[in-house]
Amino acid sequence: MVEIWFGLAAIMAAAFVVLDGFDFGAGTLHLFVAKSDGERRQVLSAIGPFWDGNEVCLLALGGVLFVAFPRVLASGLSGFYFAIFLVLWSLILRGISIELRSHVASPLWTAAWDASFAAASTLLPVLFGAALGNLIRGLPLDGDGWFSLALFTDFSARAPVGILDWYTVAAGVFAWVTIAGHGATFLAWKADGSVAARSHGAALWLYGAATILLVPMTIATGIVNAPMLAALPGRPLAWLTLAVAVAGLAAVGIGLRRRRDLMAFLGSCAFITGMLATTAVCLFPVVLRALGDDSRSLTVFNSGAPDQSLRIALTWYALGLPVVVIYFIVLFRLHRGRAAAATGREGY
């Protein structure tokens, strides 16, 4: 049962990054791809029907960890306390920036909220990328599975470590480039006119940069967590998920070159999903890796809830998941086509 719930946690994490990632990326780029108030409202109209629903995936991930791996959730919330507050403040700032920017007809008012929206949207991918970098690198877990982290120490990725070091910063930068490219492919698909054209150009540059950065990032991962890459050859599922990532990256390139915007966006979704799934498969069964002492790591086997509890929870999960999937299908169908800025002071 714990294997199933590990897979569900990975699915929820990938769903959050893919779904909320495109509106993070749109927020990061909207000051650059949209030059006028009308164009910026078009960007907000493109993500408007989706962004708040997308963030529910993060709550769903927390729910999966609470039900299946409570020790992991407790240790992670405690150890990443400061970082989690940064994430929460950024999420709050994004939400109020979207909702409040059009409430007052003042250029200064809208410019201030646009800047805060861009800043929060830029910070979030970096924070989540650095968090994933911490999980891959390892954490200073004690014998009871607890840890604490300074913001940074000597940036060496060796004990004593902090939240930020050369590897986690690199992971944050790579995450930002990828998510910004993801948002650009979404806007190229959903926006229109000059916004779509500028987004298409941004996607070409950003996904080109992500492709180049992928090689040194893989090498860096092998340096800080050699067992993770060593596990890849012996895990057929990892080869399958890696193939999905490679196919997705190829689809992005083909879609952008041929101006097939939906193909590029779906390829971006596949690339991100494949990369995260490959990471999860190679890390299994470790959830929180102990730096320097693998015996202290929290795995699905030593931190999972009792099987009977997981079976009951899985029944309810099986009932709820189809409802969520149907909701997103209906949502995307209702809002298919190109987005346009609302008229007057309506909407965004």
> Are 54 and 98 spatial neighbours (Cβ–Cβ below 8 Å)?
no
pTM of the full structure:
0.94
Digit-coded pLDDT (tens) for 76-96: 999 998 889 999 999 999 999
Mean pLDDT in residue range 109-127: 94
Q: Which pLDDT score, from 0 to 100, does residue 72 have?
A: 94
Phi, psi of 5 (to 5 degrees): -70, -30
Other CB atoms within a 10 A radius of the CB of residue 281 amount to 22
> Are 168 and 133 spatial neighbours (Cβ–Cβ below 8 Å)?
yes
CA distance linking residue 299 with residue 295, whole number of Å: 10
Instruction: Using the predicted structure, report yes or no on whether residue 292 has a pLDDT greater than 70.
Output: yes
**26 or 158: whose pLDDT is higher?**
26
Instruction: Using the predicted structure, report yes or no on whether residue 346 has a pLDDT greater than 70.
Output: no
289 pLDDT band (50/70/90 cuts)?
very high
Instruction: Using the predicted structure, report yes or no on whether residue 347 has a pLDDT greater than 60.
Output: no
Instruction: Using the predicted structure, report yes or no on whether residue 113 has a pLDDT greater than 90.
Output: yes
CA distance linking residue 233 with residue 229, whole number of Å: 8
Give the CA angle between residues 17, 19, 22 to the nearest 5°: 90
> Are 255 and 207 spatial neighbours (Cβ–Cβ below 8 Å)?
no
If you average pLDDT over every residue of the chain, what do you get?
Answer: 92
Domain boundaries, the chain: 2-334
Instruction: Using the predicted structure, report yes or no on whether residue 343 has a pLDDT greater than 70.
Output: no
Digit-coded pLDDT (tens) for 18-67: 999 999 999 999 999 998 888 999 999 999 889 888 888 998 999 999 99
CA distance linking residue 319 with residue 333, whole number of Å: 23
- Rg, the chain, Cα only: 20
Tokens (6 digits) for 259: 């101006």
